[in-house]
Structure 1
């Protein structure tokens, strides 16, 4: 397969596209959307309108490029046709299955589409795959899940890597750690390098928002800005299962309070000329959706922009709570752009190729690997001995923790031998990967109105 010519337009299909944070970043990195699929109609409308307003699509192109519905529903799109001969398959599949703030149900959550996306990649064979999710997916709880993903991608002909990226390392004024998976076909993988981090480039919250805070004449805005140093806590969009817009859980609210922000809701407008309410002796404004969008890496829609690769203007559509969720659940455009540039360079074979030996054989869960390769059930002591013989030391409590985690996402069989020792073997992955009879279909139908 020949490398892509540097000037050639690259094409992406994006699943679970949301309101377009990743979409905008990838467009600025040189990708054109063949298709974007999103479950939420208002987020899809935001994406569709902005493709026209800021990205140069015609109305007809935007209409054809954005589809609304369950991305795993064959009636919404046909991957075999819509994603044939594709450069990049990308998406931000739902986070709740892995979120530390949630129950971390993994394969038991009807919103889990990560494993399905891996199998989709194997079927349509794009040159590259980009998936992002919450930091929770990097936890020990999901080591076996991640190992299965790496192994399946290798079987599909890809070299894959995980990285935990912080948004503030790419100029975005919030923490927002995201766990990112990039996989490329073997021809292109040696040319991939993770984007260079730029720590210290993100503006403090006060400096970033001061002009918006003083829009209605609040004379104390500058003083407030001086005290609102540092970057923001992670913006949390939340889901339809919860109430209206606010700035996150208790810990985040405390962090916002230290910056002089009332995190118990989102305001319709900037503070009035007389200033915001005083709480605990200090003026404490609420943020507007425009302020939250800036923190997420978007520029103001009506600001001057040249349409260049660093022009991240966007206009959101819907009511306040919907707009807040669209913004808060998005992938920051500057981070998406940085990743897109790295993938584009790999597909263009820019630079010197690197050695992929360690990457190709990455091990995230040695207990999973051992059980998967074993032809017979193994006891805890046998697992410890075999791992030690291969150069990996895990004690008994550690092996038992691995087994407990694996039981959540894989069929596990425990057999008690005649001497009373329990031996374990690993079976099928429980995740939804497209099965017609999977429990995901019933659960999804029951909860669809609350899924976001």
Structure 2
């Protein structure tokens, strides 16, 4: 199966697609540093990305015509600044809104399916009208906006066509907010995913069931003490007996769907030396960055919980959540390698650029493991429906 990746960034989503068996037909990214990251890893023969055809260009300038009818899946994360909690909240009035371009790619290529990722902020009430407009366009990408047509008029036209009995959607589209921690990523990262299948394929699909649980993490901390034993630590946290009883009742009620514990920062950092240790230079991208400090609203991630959402270092919060609280009580920045582990990139994947530049790439990325979970599920649906796979 062939995939076309838009707005590839650091490659997290595309790497998940590759792990699930998709062949990359084109990987499009205009950011020079991100493309340098790809090329460095290709020169190092990093297997997941070695054969990717990289197009360092704006996706609006890409020629989609040769790919029409030859692509199974389009994936991508349209730039999220218009909808970010830290952004200016301009949605469709923001020239960084790339959803129209993503929809154009679907219209031009006509893939069997697509998956797009964005920040949870897009689902806020203040963006509800634009969210409805995005969904209508994804369902009917062939009904394009005319050059002289206002967005509001285009939305009305889409609504009329959508409700007309003669007009079945070209794509069946659903969306959901996913917490990466619920799928084994050591980070509380909530993002909205849009998944669509061409309606003529008759595919029945739903989002994958979570595999990990905060309650199981609490159970292994406060009931069995297994978490602390694994890390050879004394139990550092306590909760009341009433809280333990309530926790056990919740888990007993969910016993038909057993899950594993949320992975923590401490879990993810196992095997990495302290970046100030003499062994640290042997690990790629594992360099200490001084100057971390806590301030109101940005106190760092706790070691024994999944990390807070990594930031791209924009919107006036440089560093921000890109640090954690050490056992000694002080805070320090994640190294690039540590942050890459929070995003489940392989240790042999090297990032190009300074700490801030690499953190920007990582903060904008889709966790590789989460991308793989989604891609495996989509691939299974396609294979079950189309007999020539």
Query: How does the TM-score come out when normalised to structure 2?
Result: 0.68
Q: Is structure 2 residue 332 aligned with structure 1 residue 285?
A: yes
User: Counterparts of 2:275 and 2:102 in 1: how far apart (Å)?
Assistant: 44
The answer as to whether partners of 2:312 and 2:361 remain within 8 angstroms in 1 is yes
Q: What is residue 23 of structure 1 aligned with on the other side?
A: 14
Q: What is residue 71 of structure 1 aligned with on the other side?
A: 59
Aligned mate of 1:203, from 249, 263, 266 = 263
More divergent stretch after superposition (38-47 vs 163-172): 38-47
Deviation for aligned residue 1:242: 5.7
**What secondary structure does 1:206 align onto?**
helix
User: Counterparts of 1:112 and 1:88 in 2: how far apart (Å)?
Assistant: 21
Deviation for aligned residue 1:170: 1.2
The answer as to whether partners of 2:38 and 2:49 remain within 8 angstroms in 1 is no
User: Counterparts of 2:138 and 2:358 in 1: how far apart (Å)?
Assistant: 35
CA separation of 1:207 and 1:70: change in aligned 2, threshold 3 A: same
Q: How does 1:347-362 map to 2 (within 5 A)?
A: 347-349=382-384
The answer as to whether partners of 1:12 and 1:34 remain within 8 angstroms in 2 is yes
CA separation of 1:40 and 1:83: change in aligned 2, threshold 3 A: farther
User: Counterparts of 2:25 and 2:375 in 1: how far apart (Å)?
Assistant: 15
Q: Is structure 2 residue 220 aligned with structure 1 residue 235?
A: no
The answer as to whether partners of 1:188 and 1:349 remain within 8 angstroms in 2 is no
Q: What is residue 84 of structure 2 aligned with on the other side?
A: 99
Q: How does 1:104-115 map to 2 (within 5 A)?
A: 104-115=89-100
User: Counterparts of 1:83 and 1:324 in 2: how far apart (Å)?
Assistant: 35
The answer as to whether partners of 1:13 and 1:83 remain within 8 angstroms in 2 is no
The superposition leaves residues 280-330 of structure 1 with CA deviations (integer Å, 9 ceiling, x where unpaired) of xx34333211111111112311xxxxxxxxxxxx22122222111111110
Aligned mate of 2:368, from 318, 333, 341 = 333
Larger Rg: 1
User: Counterparts of 1:289 and 1:57 in 2: how far apart (Å)?
Assistant: 19
Deviation for aligned residue 1:193: 2.5
The superposition leaves residues 377-413 of structure 1 with CA deviations (integer Å, 9 ceiling, x where unpaired) of xxxxxxxxxxxxxxxxxxxxxxxxxxxxxxxxxxxxx
User: Counterparts of 1:288 and 1:183 in 2: how far apart (Å)?
Assistant: 36
Q: Is structure 2 residue 110 aligned with structure 1 residue 125?
A: yes
**What secondary structure does 2:83 align onto?**
coil
Deviation for aligned residue 1:51: 4.8
User: Counterparts of 1:242 and 1:139 in 2: how far apart (Å)?
Assistant: 21
Q: What is residue 166 of structure 1 aligned with on the other side?
A: 179
The superposition leaves residues 236-285 of structure 1 with CA deviations (integer Å, 9 ceiling, x where unpaired) of 1134x768x5134xxx87xx4xx338xxxxxxxxxxxxxxxx7xxx3433
Unaligned runs of 5+ in 2: 142-169, 214-260, 279-301
Structure 1 runs (4+) greater than 4 angstroms displaced? 215-218
**What secondary structure does 2:82 align onto?**
coil
Deviation for aligned residue 1:34: 0.6
CA separation of 1:166 and 1:205: change in aligned 2, threshold 3 A: same
**What secondary structure does 1:14 align onto?**
strand
**What secondary structure does 1:117 align onto?**
helix
**What secondary structure does 2:182 align onto?**
helix
The answer as to whether partners of 2:264 and 2:303 remain within 8 angstroms in 1 is yes
Deviation for aligned residue 1:153: 2.8
Q: What is residue 246 of structure 1 aligned with on the other side?
A: 319
**What secondary structure does 2:60 align onto?**
coil
Q: How does 1:265-344 map to 2 (within 5 A)?
A: 282-301=329-348, 314-344=349-379
The answer as to whether partners of 2:313 and 2:320 remain within 8 angstroms in 1 is no
Aligned mate of 2:381, from 316, 336, 346 = 346
The superposition leaves residues 336-390 of structure 1 with CA deviations (integer Å, 9 ceiling, x where unpaired) of 1111111111111269xxxxxxxxxxxxxxxxxxxxxxxxxxxxxxxxxxxxxxx
The answer as to whether partners of 1:12 and 1:90 remain within 8 angstroms in 2 is yes
Q: What is residue 425 of structure 1 aligned with on the other side?
A: none
CA separation of 1:147 and 1:230: change in aligned 2, threshold 3 A: same
The answer as to whether partners of 1:153 and 1:160 remain within 8 angstroms in 2 is yes
The answer as to whether partners of 1:17 and 1:38 remain within 8 angstroms in 2 is yes
- Counting matched residue pairs gives 287
Q: What is residue 150 of structure 1 aligned with on the other side?
A: 135
Unaligned runs of 5+ in 1: 1-9, 219-226, 262-277, 302-313, 352-452
User: Counterparts of 2:125 and 2:189 in 1: how far apart (Å)?
Assistant: 20
